[in-house]
């Protein structure tokens, strides 16, 4: 079956670094997405990885290992506005997105 | 700026009512999707469409239908609303990979 696993909730301190992990099992693979969703709002695109390695975009980086079925999202210099849910999604061979349940990130001052 | 617009942010309907949720995108995307989002569960795909007048069932199509008469508009229909359809409904559109989401409709069925 198809499955995406990510932690339900994480807590971190303002100014620190946090890594949110995601493991996936999908029928075929056409890339791994990370989205950010603030409470009551729509998900917004953060990153897309289809090749192994690290993609850096400002304070946010995303890593992919296809052989391990593993990705992580790294957030540096955390700010209070980073408090949100972070959704991991894998695109399968039919170009359908399979979504994780999301990780709620709580930032404390 | 890309835009996906859903007709309502909040909706309260009675059990048994027919409910229409509308979604419009201005990006000329071929692909459009309807999801529902419930606490502790990932986004679950209800229906999607790859082109005008085309529709495909997602993972949880029961109790729903869709309509795509024009490229920019994708409607979700709850034929006879039930309390277990109380949820956040999200519409999305995409060209190839990245999906753009509407602001969501929080539907409560009483």
Over residues A96-108, the pLDDT tens digits come to 888 999 999 999 9
Q: What mean pLDDT is predicted for residues A86-104? A: 91
Which of A27, A29, A43, A44 would you mutate first to test chain B, the one with the most B CBs within 10 A?
A43
Over residues A25-51, the pLDDT tens digits come to 988 899 999 999 999 888 999 999 999
Closest chain A C-alpha to B63 CA, distance in angstroms: 21
B57 touches chain A (CB under 8 A): no
State how far the Cα of A44 lies from the Cα of A29, in Å rounded to an integer.
21
Over residues A2-13, the pLDDT tens digits come to 789 999 999 999
Contact present, B74 and B34 (Cβ < 8 Å): yes
Residue from the list B98, B100, B104 with its beta carbon closest to the beta carbon of A48: B98
Residue in chain B lying closest to A104 (CA): B40
What Cα–Cα distance (Å) separates residue B49 from each residue in A47, A73, A88, A100, B96? 24, 30, 22, 22, 13
Over 90: is that where the pLDDT of B95 sits?
Answer: no
B39: CB partners within 8 A, 6+ apart:
none
Which of B97, B98, B100, B104 would you mutate first to test chain A, the one with the most A CBs within 10 A?
B97
Q: What mean pLDDT is predicted for residues A62-69? A: 96
Residue from the list A42, A91, A101 with its beta carbon closest to the beta carbon of B101: A42
Structure tokens at B2: 């890309």
Over 80: is that where the pLDDT of B1 sits?
Answer: no
B13 touches chain A (CB under 8 A): no
């Amino acid at each position: 079956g198809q499955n995406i696993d990510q932690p339900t909730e994480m807590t971190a301190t303002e100014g620190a670094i946090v890594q949110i992990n995601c493991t996936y099992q999908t029928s075929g693979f056409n890339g791994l997405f990370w989205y950010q969703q603030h409470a009551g709002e729509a998900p917004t695109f953060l990153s897309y990885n289809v090749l192994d390695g690290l993609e850096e975009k400002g304070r946010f980086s995303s890593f992919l290992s296809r052989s391990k079925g593993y990705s992580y999202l790294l957030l540096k210099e955390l700010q209070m506005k980073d408090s949100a849910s972070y959704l991991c999604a894998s695109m399968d061979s039919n170009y359908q997105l399979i979504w994780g349940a999301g990780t709620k990130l709580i930032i404390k001052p | 700026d890309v835009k996906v617009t859903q007709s309502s942010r909040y909706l309260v309907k009675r059990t048994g009512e027919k409910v229409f949720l509308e979604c419009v995108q201005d990006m000329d995307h071929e692909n459009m999707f309807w999801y529902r989002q419930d606490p502790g569960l990932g986004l679950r795909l209800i229906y999607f469409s790859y082109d005008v007048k085309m529709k495909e069932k997602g993972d949880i199509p029961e109790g729903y239908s869709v309509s795509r008469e024009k490229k920019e508009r994708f409607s979700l229909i709850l034929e006879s609303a039930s309390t277990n359809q109380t949820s956040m409904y999200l519409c999305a559109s995409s060209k190839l990979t990245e999906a753009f989401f509407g602001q969501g409709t929080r539907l409560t069925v009483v």
